[in-house]
Amino acid sequence: MIRLRPILLLAVAMFAMAQTSPRSASAPALAAAQEDINRGDFHAAAAAYQTLTEKEPLLAEAHAGLVQSLLKLDEVDAAEQASRKAADALPQSAIVLAADGDVKFRRGLLVDARDRYQAALRLDEKCARAWLGMGRIDAAESHRAKSREAFARAHELDPGDGDILYYWAIGLPFPQTVAQLQKHLAEYRNDEEKERHEREYIEFLKALAGRKVWIPAREVPSAEIKLRAIVPGVKDGTRAYSIQVKLNNRATGNVMLDTGASGLTISSKLAEKAHATWLSDHSIEGVGNSGPAKGYEAWVDKVTIGPLEFHDCHVHVTPRSSADFDGMIGTDVFEKYLVKVDFLAHKLRLQPMPPALDRDSFTPFYRFGHIMLMPTSVGDTAHGLFVLDTGSVTNSMSPGLARQIGTLHSSDILVNGMSGSVTNVFTVDETVLQFSRFRQPHENMIIFDLHGVSKDLGTEISGLIGFVTFKNMTITIDYRDGLIDFDSKP
pLDDT tens, residue by residue, 236-266: 678 899 999 999 999 999 999 999 999 999 9
For the cut 50, the answer to whether the pLDDT of residue 4 exceeds it is: no
- Distance between CA 420 and CA 289 in Å, rounded? 6
In this predicted structure, the answer to whether residue 441 has a pLDDT above a threshold of 90 is no
Is a pLDDT exceeding 60 seen at residue 16?
Answer: no
Give me the mean pLDDT over the 99-118 stretch: 98
Give the pLDDT of residue 340. Answer: 97
As assigned by CATH, the class of the 215-337 domain is mainly beta
Q: Which residue has the higher pLDDT, 414 or 282?
A: 282
Superfamily of 1-124 according to CATH? Tetratricopeptide repeat domain (1.25.40.10)
The whole-number pLDDT of residue 326 equals 96
192-196, long-range: CB < 8 A, 24+ apart: 193/456, 196/283
Q: Where are the domains of the chain?
A: 1-124, 128-210, 215-337, 363-488
Mean pLDDT on 115-130: 98
Q: What is the pLDDT of residue 459?
A: 97
Across the chain, mean pLDDT equals 90
What's the whole-model pTM score? Answer: 0.91
pLDDT tier at 115, thresholds 50, 70, 90: very high
Residue 2, pLDDT score: 36
pLDDT at 51: 97
* pLDDT score, position 291: 63
Average pLDDT over residues 141-145: 97
Domains 215-337 and 363-488 share a fold: yes
- CB of 385 within 8 A of CB of 464? no
Q: What SS3 state is found at 256?
A: strand
Q: Class of 363-488 per CATH? A: mainly beta
What is the pLDDT, as a whole number, of residue 321? 80
Query: How many angstroms separate the CA atoms of 168 and 144, rounded?
Result: 12
Q: What integer pLDDT is reported at residue 235 of this predicted model?
A: 57
pLDDT at 417 over 80: no
483: enclosing H helix or E strand: strand 483-488
| Domain range 128-210, CATH architecture | Alpha Horseshoe (1.25)
